[in-house]
Amino acid sequence: MRDKLLARATPVDFSYPQLQKKTKNDYNPISPYSFYSKLAAMSSTEKDKGPIEICEIKQDEKKEEKDEFDVLLERLNSLTVVDTPTQMEHQKTKFLDLRSSILDILAEPHLQSARFEQRWKESAIPKRVETVKPLTEKENQLVDRLFQKGQSGQVAELRNAMVSYKDIHRLYPETWLNDEIINFYFELIAERANKTDQLPQIHCFNTFFCSTLRDQGYAKVRRWTKRVDVFKKDLLFVPINQSYHWVLGVMDMKNKKVCVYDSLHGNHDRTLDLFLDYLEKEHLDKKKEPLDTSDWTKETPKDIPRQENMSDCGAFTCTFAERLSRAVPFHFSQKDMTTIRRRMALNIVNKAI
């Protein structure tokens, strides 16, 4: 009876997913998967009838059966292979999983299409990696004029930040950046963030904030934020100079963590503790209630670009801040520093990033 059902329900070119495995029917002289096996499986009554009559019988049988697809699934589910019990169970599990997938596709084609499209976007389309954009010929000519010696006077001014020709020369390769360059650049970052809702909301402290807080305490910096609510910002940036080395301090208000991004991959536990202490005192002073920082985390990321000389720490610090302000990865390295410095000079003279 089992062979009869298989012969009637199984297509001529059907083969079970487990290749190279023998089924019980492989040992029969006539394969149950062939046309002749179907003929052999017919009853004597069917054999005596003509082709048209046989077709009519088949038509009547189909009317009495359940949904064709369900019947096919049930019959396929009943197939077993001659093998060890463990392998048999494994193959059956694989088949059931496959059947479930087929049913999902038939039941929800629009969802399956959406899932496929998403997987295709994630795997088939190469992801665009942001690189450091080179300057155009015209932009390079402008920067070359800025770097010419013998010039004096002011290059740009933005709120409380000002850069002179003497300062702009600090952006020449292998030259240390000073407070004026870094403070101006951070003003540009904050201004860009405040002009749109598409970027994280940012407040930038100047280069004197951390040293003043560390050396003179919270009371000296309490009024520095009288016009800004730092707890409504996403990120607080703090450029820090430690023993002639620039690093970036970040208070991530949204994700409740404090970080220091150091292009020399140093440790900054004391600075991180200083940030948490500042936030607690600032909250108590401005909000009149304590801030619980027990669930805040402290980080000094090591999987970030590393400088390979002793002069580019300032450029790395500014670039860390610029990338974080747009929530994009740090796709830059030491080899990009000359281009980055020249781009910074262009940003300053144009007063825009």
Q: Is 268 a catalytic residue?
A: no
Place of tokens 């996403």: 234
What is the number of other CB atoms lying within 10 angstroms of the CB of residue 112? 14
Measured between alpha carbons, how far is 43 from 336 in angstroms, rounded to an integer? 82
Number of other residues whose CB lies within 10 A of the CB of residue 168: 22
Q: Which of 210, 259, 313, 318 is an active site residue? A: 313
- Is-catalytic flag, 283? no
Burial of 270 (0-12, 13-18, 19+ CB in 10 A): exposed
* Residue whose entry in the numeric block shows the structure tokens 């054999």: 47
| Cβ-proximal residues to 82 (8 Å cutoff; 6+ apart), any chain | 21, 22, 23, 24
Residue 262 appears among annotated catalytic residues: yes
Per the DSSP assignment, residues forming a β-bridge with 236 are 203, 251
Which of the following is catalytic: 83, 169, 179, 245? 245
Pair 233, 190: CB distance under 8 Å: no
Residue linked to tokens 């940030």: 275
| Of 167, 234, 262, 336, catalytic | 262
Catalytic residue numbers read: 245, 262, 313
